[in-house]
Structure 1
Amino acid sequence: MSLQDRLDAFKNDFESGNPPYSIPRAIIDAFHRSTAALIATGQAERALRAGDVAPNFTLEGADGTLVSLLDLLAKGSAVLTFYRGAWCPYCNLELSALQEALPEIAARSASLVAISPQTAPNSRKSIRQHNLTFPMLNDPGNELAAKFGLRWKLSDEMIGVYKTLGADLETFNGNSSWTLPMPARYIIDRDGVIAFSEINPDYTKRPDPSELLPTLDLLASRRAA
């Protein structure tokens, strides 16, 4: 089953109004309005894309280790996924799919890292729950996400919705910004140029990890030439 098939199945269950979720229709409608509003801003089209130079960064991993983009590129290409947090079931399905694809990514001399605004303890929880063997880097305040053009601020209505559902981002992220990254996935070549990008303001839509492999194959063949 593809990642999108898994996401669609979860969405259908979540929005059905049936146990175990039993989410009020008003909350579902609020999510739809929020997604439509973000799409309408056109922000996704302005985010960094293939052909742009990726911003350099050094971030702390969930285990306290500092990881820089230069460190990653010294080993080969770098695959970045922007992860909203442990509270997001769609993001967690994506993490599991990426973990399944990790051997194929690594076989192409590429590193995979997740980047998240959540606190280190929450990242360690995500790593344990999903048996991840790739690093999760902490991006306080979504500062790196902002450099990629991905950071956006939740409306007052959505802040209330998230709190109602138990996703208090002030607690999860350790700050009061109430910002999130748009879900995005990038491949960065060793020269620092973005070779692949996928940004979607609809958090229920994610590309399958297999879509990374043709670009990774191309980059690997160029290095071998």
Structure 2
Amino acid sequence: MTLQARLDAFKADFLAGKPPYKAPADIHPIMARATAELIASGQAGRALKAGDKAPSFTLNDPDGKPVSSAELLAQGPLILSFYRGVWCPYCNMELQALQETLPAFRAAGANLVAISPQTAPNSRKSMRNNNLEFPILSDTHNDVAAAFGLRFALPDYLVELYKMLKNDLPAFNGDGSWTLPMPARYVIARDGTILYAEINPDYTHRPEPEDMLHVLPSA
């Protein structure tokens, strides 16, 4: 089953209120409104795209060790996945699909890292729960996401909904800004050029991991 098929099946169960995804029916239009407004903002079209130069960064892994994009690119092409957090089931399914494709990425000489605003303990939990063999780096305040054009602020009505659902982003992220990255994937060549970019303001839609493989031989 493809990643998107898995996401669609989860979304259908969630909208139908099937256990264990029972949620008040009135939350769905609110979430849909927020997604529609983010799409309409055009922000995804302003994010970095193929042909642009990727900004360099250094972020800590879940053990507090600094990880430099320059050091990773010295080893080969770099795959980045911007991850909203341990609380997002769609993001976790994506991480699982990336893990399944990790041997093919490594065979092509590429490194894979996920970037998330969440705290190190939550990243360790994400890695453990999803059986990941690649790191989730902590992007405090979504600064790296902002450099890629991905950071956005949740509208007030969505903040209130998240609070009602006990989805406390300030606690997850150690940051009170109520910002998130749009889900995005990048392949960056060793010289820093972005070869592949997929940004979708609709967090329920993700590209297949295999979609990146065709650019790696040229990276």
Q: How does 1:23-172 map to 2 (within 5 A)?
A: 23-172=23-172
Question: Which ranges in structure 2 are unaligned for 5 or more consecutive residues?
Answer: none
The Cα of 1:100 is off from its aligned counterpart by: 0.5
The TM-score with structure 2 as length reference comes to: 0.98
Q: Between the two proteins, what is the percent identity of the paired residues?
A: 60
Question: In the TM superposition, what is the alpha-carbon distance from 1:165 to its structure 2 partner?
Answer: 1.9
**C-alpha distance in 1, partners of 2:93/2:124?**
17
Structure 1: stretches of 5+ with no match in the other structure: 220-225
Q: Deviations over 1:88-121 (max 9, x none)?
A: 0000000000000000000000000000000000
- Distance in 1 between the 2:21 and 2:107 partners? 39
How much does 1:18 deviate?
3.0
Q: CA deviation at 1:2?
A: 0.4
Bigger mean CA deviation after superposition, 157-166 or 53-62? 157-166
Larger CA deviation: 161-170 vs 183-192: 161-170
Q: TM-score, normalised by structure 1?
A: 0.96
1:151 CA drift (Å): 0.3
The code of the aligned residue for 2:210 comes to S
- Report the alpha carbon displacement of residue 218 of structure 1 after superposing the two structures with TM: 3.1
Distance across 2 between alignment mates of 1:35 and 1:177: 19
Give 3-state SS (helix, strand or coil) of 1:79's partner. strand
Q: Provide Cα deviations, 1:101-154, integer angstroms capped at 9, x if missing partner.
A: 000000000000000000000000001111111011000110000000000000
Report the Cα offset of residue 64 of structure 1: 1.1
One-letter code aligned to 1:145 = A
- Give me the whole-angstrom Cα distance separating, in 2, the residues matched to 1:71 and 1:134: 16
Q: How many residues align?
A: 219
2:195 is matched with: 195
Indicate the residue corresponding to 2:207 in structure 1.
Answer: 207
2:22 equivalent to 1:22: yes
Q: Match for residue 222 of structure 1? A: none
Task: Report the 3-state secondary structure (helix = DSSP H, G, I; strand = E; otherwise coil) of the residue aligned with 1:25.
Answer: coil
C-alpha separation in 2, matches of 1:11 and 1:166: 20
Give 3-state SS (helix, strand or coil) of 1:15's partner: helix
Structure-1 residue corresponding to 2:175: 175
Q: What is the DSSP-based 3-state SS (H/G/I as helix, E as strand, rest coil) of the residue aligned with 1:187?
A: strand
